[in-house]
Amino acid sequence: MNIQTTLALIMTTTLGTAGLAVADKDSYALDQWKATPKTYLNKAEHEQYLKECGSCHFAYQPGLLPAASWERIMANLSDHFGDNAELPATETTDIRNYLLNNAAGRVNSSLPKKILRDSKAQQPVMRITETPYFIRKHDEIKPKMVKDNPEVRSFSRCDACHTRAADASYNEHEVKIPGYGRWED
Ligand code: HEC
Ligand code: HEC
């Protein structure tokens, strides 16, 4: 039984005709509820994080990695994937707190939950692109579309293909791979 049928049933059985006015108000609430997108992944909104961690690459949403991964990343900024991304101590603390408080496992939204569930068995990885969830979702994409594609080069560049990555929206229907166009499954 779907939610509408369930609600209709509850209304008719418990409210009867006296409940008509209430039923009107409730159907308005139900419309609102249906129009509100469910939380899939929160946007990155921390000003310093966006500025400092979005200067070399896309500012990944904190919910894309478990806390232990962010902890490892933030503890090794002087040797960050071959770059030095070190920051003053207060900024590092600030950004670390933001990332940990919004990491997968901390926030109650669906994408972080899936990432965490898939990652439980293994050591915390330092890359989103190395999480089992990511690998599973991207295993049909050929190297010529990524590594050998001058407009992409790396899976780390989420925003090269996901047209709404900055809005924390990774729906497969919004994917456009440069040089290949829309993704058709
Ligand atoms: C000086 C440039 C620079 C800055 C600043 C920087 N990064 Fe990076 N980051 C890199 C490079 C280079 C890579 C590797 C990208 C690749 O493999 O294509 C990377 C990769 C990453 C990845 C892994 C992406 C994946 O493949 O899943 C994460 C997570 C990350 N950075 C987080 C951060 C955070 C958090 C900060 C801010 C504290 C930050 N970065 C600041 C250069 C930088
Ligand atoms: C080369 C282009 C490309 C890059 C770069 C890329 N993706 Fe994707 N991504 C895709 C495609 C294509 C799909 C759909 C795959 C399918 O359905 O078979 C997808 C699927 C996804 C999904 C699942 C969406 C769903 O509706 O199930 C998520 C989440 C996602 N990507 C996140 C990311 C993140 C985060 C990054 C960066 C760390 C990233 N992607 C980088 C092309 C890319």
Q: Are residues 159 and 113 in the same domain?
A: no
The response to whether residue 141 sits with its C-beta less than 6 Å from ligand 2 reads yes
25 and 66 assigned to the same domain: no
Q: Quick: pLDDT tens for 64-75.
A: 999 999 999 999
147 and 114 within one domain:
no
Question: Which atom of ligand 2 lies at the shortest distance from residue 128's CA?
Answer: 38
Q: pLDDT per residue over 113-133, tens digit each? A: 999 998 887 888 999 999 999
Q: How far is the CA of 56 from the centre of ligand 1 (A)?
A: 7
Q: Give the range of the structural domain holding residue 13, as residue numbers without chain letter.
A: 3-35
Which residues, in sequence order, are CB contacts of 97 under 8 Å at separation 6+? none
Quote the CA–CA distance of 28 and 34 in Å, as a whole number: 10
User: Is the residue at 183 inside a domain?
Assistant: yes
Minimum mean pLDDT among 10-24, 44-58, 97-111, 155-169: which range? 10-24
Instruction: Give the count of domains, the chain.
Output: 3
C-alpha 137 to ligand 2 mean position (Å): 6
Closest by CA to 70, choosing from 40, 101, 91, is 101
Closest protein CA for atom 26 of ligand 2: 171
pTM attached to this predicted model:
0.85
Query: Measured from the CB, is residue 57 less than 6 Å from ligand 1?
Result: yes
